[in-house]
């Protein structure tokens, strides 16, 4: 498979392919997980930087010069 074809796949499709399971219940759990969790930001040369959200106590990701909460969407400048 080419890199382009792999990149065109959805996150759910990639997770299902990695799991390589024929169990319908497991596949349903994977689909539910992918729908309920946000996509992580793209990996930069510094990696993925995280911190805690002051509002909801979930994970915030560094995106350029901005912290963005993965759960509530709260944003803060660096």
pLDDT, tens digit (0-9, with 9 covering 90-100), for 35-53: 877 677 666 777 778 889 9
CA-CA distance, 59 to 21, in Å (whole number)? Answer: 29
Q: What is the pLDDT of residues 51-65, one digit of tens each?
A: 899 998 888 888 778
Q: What is the pLDDT of residue 6?
A: 55
Instruction: Give the ranges where 1-78 is alpha helix by DSSP (H).
Output: 3-8, 11-19, 24-36
Beta bridge partners of 69: 60
Mean pLDDT in residue range 15-30:
88
**Torsion-angle region of 68 (φ positive above 0: left; ψ -120 to 50: alpha; else: beta):** beta
CA-CA distance, 70 to 77, in Å (whole number)? Answer: 15
């Amino acid at each position: 498979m080419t890199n382009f074809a792999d990149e065109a796949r959805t996150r759910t499709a990639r997770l299902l392919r990695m799991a390589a399971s024929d169990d319908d219940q497991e596949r349903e759990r994977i689909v539910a997980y992918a729908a309920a969790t946000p996509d992580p930001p793209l990996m930069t040369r510094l990696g993925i930087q995280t911190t805690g959200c002051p509002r909801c106590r979930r994970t915030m990701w560094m995106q350029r010069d901005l912290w963005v909460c993965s759960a509530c969407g709260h944003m803060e400048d660096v």
